[in-house]
């Protein structure tokens, strides 16, 4: 078997897969990727997060995470960024 036959076979198999995808869903374009899929968890606690930030202006994100049992400090950071909540420490 010549060395180019494997590439031709791979192309045929790939074409069959694309045709099957188009036949089953009607569309062979790739689905959207990326984005934040976990923000709903933070958004559910949005009022509580804001209340804690007002009540305790010097609370850190790890302390806030401990009070809320949030999945991560990064999720809280993204919540604050998304809602433009800034935490500035007073000058000492």
Q: In which element (H, E) is residue 61 found?
A: helix 61-68
56-62: long-range contacts (C-beta < 8 A, 24 or more apart)? 57/87, 58/89
Which pLDDT value is given to residue 55? Answer: 92
Cβ–Cβ under 8 Å, residues 76 and 61: yes
Q: Among 64, 20, 28, which Cα is nearest to 45's? A: 64
- Domains of the chain by residue range: 1-28, 39-82
Tokens 């930030």 correspond to: 53
Give the pair of three-digit tokens for residue 3.
């060395």
Which pLDDT value is given to residue 43? Answer: 84
> Along the 92 residues of the chain, how does pLDDT read in single tens digits?
555 566 777 888 888 888 887 777 777 777 777 776 777 778 888 899 999 989 988 888 899 889 887 678 888 888 899 899 887 766 66
Q: Cα 29–32–33 angle (5° rounding)?
A: 125
* Cα–Cα distance list, 55 to 48, 50, 51, 66 (Å): 10, 9, 6, 16
pTM of model > 0.85: no
């Amino acid at each position: 078997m010549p060395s180019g036959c494997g590439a031709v076979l791979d192309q045929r198999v790939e074409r069959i897969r694309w045709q099957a995808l188009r036949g089953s869903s009607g569309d062979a374009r790739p689905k959207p990727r990326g984005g934040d899929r976990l923000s709903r968890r933070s958004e559910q606690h949005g009022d509580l997060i804001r209340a804690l930030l007002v009540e305790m202006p010097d609370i850190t994100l790890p302390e806030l995470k401990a009070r809320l049992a949030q999945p991560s400090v990064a999720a809280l950071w993204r919540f604050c960024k998304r809602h433009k909540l800034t935490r500035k420490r007073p000058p000492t």
